[in-house]
Amino acid sequence: MRFGLPCEVRSDEYRVALSPAVVDALVREGHTVYVERGAGRQAGFPDRLYEQVGARILYSAQEVWGRSEVVVKVARPTDREQSYFRPGLVLMSFLHLAVASPDLYDALVNHSMTAIAYETVRTPQGEYPILMPNNEIAGRVAPIIAGQLMESPGGGLGMLLSGIPGIAPAVVVILGAGILGRNAARAFHQLGAQVTVIDNRLDYLQRIDEFFSGQIVTMLATPFNIAKAVAFADILIGAWIDPGGRSPILVSREMVRSMRNRAVLIDFAIATGGCVETSRPTNLSNPFYVEEEVIHYCVPNVTSLVARTASYAHGNALLPYLLALGRDGLDKAIQHIPELKQGVNLWRGKLANTHVAEAMGKNVEIDL
């Protein structure tokens, strides 16, 4: 099979979908991998590393898209990239169609494309194997981001996350006890912060309680509990993500207004619309803004902060599915691998994912 790896062209996107190690594994199985010149440079992978493992370096995005059967990206395509769409092409990328511009959906439909969205690749056990490493990384960088935003020179509260003897640590409230929330809880806890995790799934909260031996506070996600916890938070983490859909608004503007001035709000759910009413997307060049006297950080591609690690992790998670596609072809692969079938949002231009269809207010057009 012919796989294509174009450069990411969105602003502040430093990740690349395939590391040289993943390309090596594909080439060893007899597949062809076209890599656009410079595709891995910002993640620390120069062209020579791809050439050494047998990739074919091409000099334009148009060539990569034109020669490939499957194009593998990280960020959803831009308007310019949509001009490379064609019937029969398979696109693998983060798509978040429920909150994306309608132009992307229309372009995929009009060109009869097959689109596999990483965020909806879901196992029968309810796990998201490609989304998971991104959420792990986001959770683990949360204290780094929060610590910087709390520094006095930037207008923050001037608090040390851990406190010191005689001075209380920062109070961190995390909305969501999934992969991202658990990793954020662990990272903040290890630094000495006082952590509360809120979720509506008691089994997830029980897992948190057992893992941390009761040292982290857990609360059921009722409006009353959320409002109470938010009012006392020095740092609020939004980790309530709805893969394939739109995250619910759990924190109202009024709740944000109840927080102390210059508290920090990091909405990691912004890629799926955000779970805080006052959230709006930012970027790594201008990552935060102040609203209701609260510092908001809402960067959808936050793992680009550590692009090399993120690219390795993403490619590792993606490799088994690429090998299956190359070995069995698209039709057989989605029948043999249930989670890959869940990842198919559009099949040759027809809407194929029930959850995505519901989030978009549309009907499923084909049952795979």
pLDDT for residue 154: 87
What does the pLDDT average to over 254-269?
Answer: 98
Give the residue carrying structure tokens 């965020």: 119
Which residues have a Cβ under 8 Å from the Cβ of 56 and sit 6 or more positions away? 32, 33, 34, 35
pLDDT-above-90 percentage for the chain: 99
What does the pLDDT average to over 51-57?
Answer: 98
Q: What is the pLDDT of residues 162-173, one digit of tens each?
A: 999 999 999 999
* Structural domains present in the chain: 2-127+307-360 (3.40.50.720), 132-305 (3.40.50.720)
Indicate the burial class of 32 (C-beta count within 10 angstroms; 0-12, 13-18, 19 or more). middle
What does the block give as tokens for 17? Answer: 């979908």
216 DSSP 8-state letter: S
What does the block give as tokens for 211? Answer: 């893992």
pLDDT for residue 292: 97
Q: How many other C-beta atoms lie within 10 A of the C-beta of residue 331?
A: 10
pLDDT for residue 15: 98
Q: Which of 199, 228, 238 is nearest to 216 (CA)?
A: 199
At 297 the three-state DSSP class reads strand
H helix intervals, the chain: 20-28, 47-52, 61-67, 79-82, 102-110, 131-149, 179-190, 202-211, 223-231, 253-257, 307-336, 338-343, 354-360
Q: Which of 314, 335, 368 is nearest to 72 (CA)?
A: 314
Which residues have a Cβ under 8 Å from the Cβ of 164 and sit 6 or more positions away? none
pLDDT band at 368 (very low <50, low <70, confident <90, very high): confident
pLDDT for residue 90: 98
Distance of CA 63 to the CA centre of its chain: 28
What does the block give as tokens for 216? Answer: 């982290």
Q: How many other C-beta atoms lie within 10 A of the C-beta of residue 230?
A: 23
Q: What is the pLDDT of residues 102-156, one digit of tens each?
A: 999 999 999 999 999 999 999 999 999 999 999 999 999 999 999 999 999 989 9
What does the pLDDT average to over 308-315?
Answer: 98
What does the pLDDT average to over 268-287?
Answer: 97
pLDDT for residue 340: 96
pLDDT over 90 at 298, yes or no: yes
pLDDT for residue 161: 96
Give the residue carrying structure tokens 């090399």: 308
CA distance 331 to 190: 46
Mean pLDDT of the chain: 97
145 touches 295 (CB < 8 A): no
What does the pLDDT average to over 262-268?
Answer: 98
pLDDT over 90 at 79, yes or no: yes
Q: Rounded to a whole number, what is the distance in angstroms from the first to the last CA of the chain?
A: 22
Indicate the burial class of 249 (C-beta count within 10 angstroms; 0-12, 13-18, 19 or more). middle
Q: What is the pLDDT of residues 344-355, one digit of tens each?
A: 999 999 999 999
What does the block give as tokens for 65? Answer: 């898209």
Phi, then psi, of 238 in degrees rounded to 5: -90, 110
CA distance 194 to 133: 25
Angular region, 30: left φ>0, alpha ψ -120 to 50, beta rest:
left
Q: What is the pLDDT of residues 192-220, one digit of tens each?
A: 999 999 999 999 999 999 999 999 999 99
Which residues have a Cβ under 8 Å from the Cβ of 25 and sit 6 or more positions away? 319, 323
